[in-house]
Structure 1
Amino acid sequence: MNMIAATAKIHPSSIIEDGAVIGENVKIGPFCYIGPKVVLGDDMELKSHVVVDGRTTIGKGSKIFPNAVIGGDSQSVHHSTVDTILQIGDNCTIREGVTMNAGTVEYGGATIVGNNNLFLAYSHVAHDCRLGNNIIMSNNVLLAGHVTIGDRAILGGGCAVHQFTRIGRQAFIGGLSAVSYDVIPYGMLNGNPGVLSGLNVVGMTRAGIERATIHVVRRAYKQIFEGPESVRANAAAIRADYADCAPVVEILDFIAAESDRALSSPSRGKA
């Protein structure tokens, strides 16, 4: 038995399988398919020809455009028949042809997407990815499995991100870039192979970071990537000097954290 709120508006050509939960004021346009384990939050809208399947939960206020396929099985060669989940937060916009896959059992079984994210046409979120809030993925952005993206990151059109890669908060990835290694918070990466090309100063300014603080982060960036030792050694050496600058501490913590990938750098793509 499905649980459909009385205020939901569903086109008669759409199929809602028994067991689906449809929230208040949800609008489902023509020729959509909603699977039996799907939960759609209040005030959502599915334009038309949208598939939402698997154990997928989508928060309130999200909008999904035609031909998106949300909650499909992972495309991993290790995919099993065990149910895994896709969890999407509130107020996300998912444009035409976007695909998002559920997680895999081997890595916790969950793909997690935060709030207020914008996914432009034909972008892809693979199994076991972890995405924060206020992220923009432009047209044809491709995330491989297990990618982690911090809040307010922007990924330019056609860029591709290697599996297990981390992209830090408020990083900017240029269009058509190949992201093979971790990108620090506030970093800006361009090219194929992707090379760190400075700081996302525009994004930092728009986020309300003061100019004086940006200058401090720039100074730390030079010490980290142009210092006499390895990037990680340089980062560790300056930590005490920047203990009162939160953005620098965030970068240093990111560099110090364990990761399956190397770090992107300005000189050769990785460090």
Structure 2
Amino acid sequence: MTVVTIHPLAIVEEGAEIGNNVHIGPFCHVGPQVKLGDNVDLKSHVVVAGHTTIEEHTVVFPFASLGHVPQDKKFQGEHSSLEIGKRNIIREYVTINPGTEGGGSLTKVGNDGLFMIGVHIAHDCHIGNHVIFANHATLAGHVHVGDHAIIGGLSAIHQFVRIGEHAMIGGMSGAEQDVIPYGVIVGERAHLSGLNLIGLKRRNFSPGAINQLRDAYKILFDKNIKDFENSTLLERIEKVISQYKDSEEVMHVVNFIKNDSKRNICMPKYG
């Protein structure tokens, strides 16, 4: 049996698709092209606009704005979408924009994410599963964030940057370049400061896998390692491949670095 609770002070426009057991609180506004999955909960004062889909068991707190037109002057009203997955927690004042024609016309958020107060996700971003965005973390357009990544409070990610899986962005950091999987970056203009060892242990990576990542990290990024003082990154990558080609985790880092990027790779701070 379909049970939908819509507060009399909410507006749900004709054409919106509402799943089972959905709760829409007071002063919410749901647009005509919105789709809400089963057990979605809009607490109050939530605006969901445009071609936006929110999948089941996602909870949205007051004053969030989801699906309004992107903050991009090139946007001319073309069809674009926002897809938000399952079991996400979207806290107060979060803003998420749909895509643009130049970025594939889609912004996509995965499952099981926590988006704290004031988070902004701009047009054409693609966000993985099990991510945590702390208060007022901000993503510019076209950013890709891998599974289990953590974006620290008051941090800002430049457009087109890729954040690898299990990476961590320190609070109040500015990320202008790609962040390797499992890496940690910090700083006003952020630099790579090591591996996200605490996160790896919490997610039950084996000691052997962690040690291999540590060794590969030294080869790739330690300027003082013997026999590699004057080596290029490409030469270091080849050395890592020769030693750790059977390590899934290490090769994940290698393939991330080798893939084409618009922003280069965030490197350690030398000197």
TM-score scaled by structure 1? 0.95
Residues 148-227 of structure 1 correspond to what in structure 2 (within 5 A)?
Answer: 148-226=144-222, 227=228
Task: Establish whether residue 48 from structure 1 lines up as the match of residue 48 from structure 2.
Answer: no
Task: Establish whether residue 265 from structure 1 lines up as the match of residue 261 from structure 2.
Answer: no
1:83 aligned to 73, 76, 79, which one? 79
**For 1:20 and 1:8, how far apart are their aligned partners in 2?**
13
Task: Establish whether residue 231 from structure 1 lines up as the match of residue 233 from structure 2.
Answer: yes
Partner of 2:225: none
Partner of 1:253: 255
The structural deviation recorded for 1:40 is 0.4
The answer to whether the Cα contact below 8 Å between 1:80 and 1:105 also exists between their aligned partners in 2 is no
5+ residue gaps, structure 1:
none
Partner of 1:10: 6
**For 1:177 and 1:139, how far apart are their aligned partners in 2?**
13
5+ residue gaps, structure 2:
223-227
The structural deviation recorded for 1:237 is 3.0
The structural deviation recorded for 1:240 is 2.5
2:246 aligned to 230, 241, 244, which one? 244
**For 1:82 and 1:119, how far apart are their aligned partners in 2?**
27
Deviations 1:216-247 (A, max 9, x none): 11010010112432223311332121111111
Q: Which amino acid aligns with 1:263?
A: I
Partner of 2:68: 72
Q: Which amino acid aligns with 2:165?
A: R
1:123 aligned to 102, 119, 123, which one? 119
> Runs of at least 4 residues of structure 1 off by over 3 A?
none
User: Does the residue aligned with 1:188 lie in a helix, a strand or coil?
Assistant: strand
**For 1:6 and 1:80, how far apart are their aligned partners in 2?**
38
- Aligned residue pairs: how many? 264
2:30 aligned to 34, 49, 53, which one? 34
User: Does the residue aligned with 1:86 lie in a helix, a strand or coil?
Assistant: strand
1:62 aligned to 55, 58, 80, which one? 58
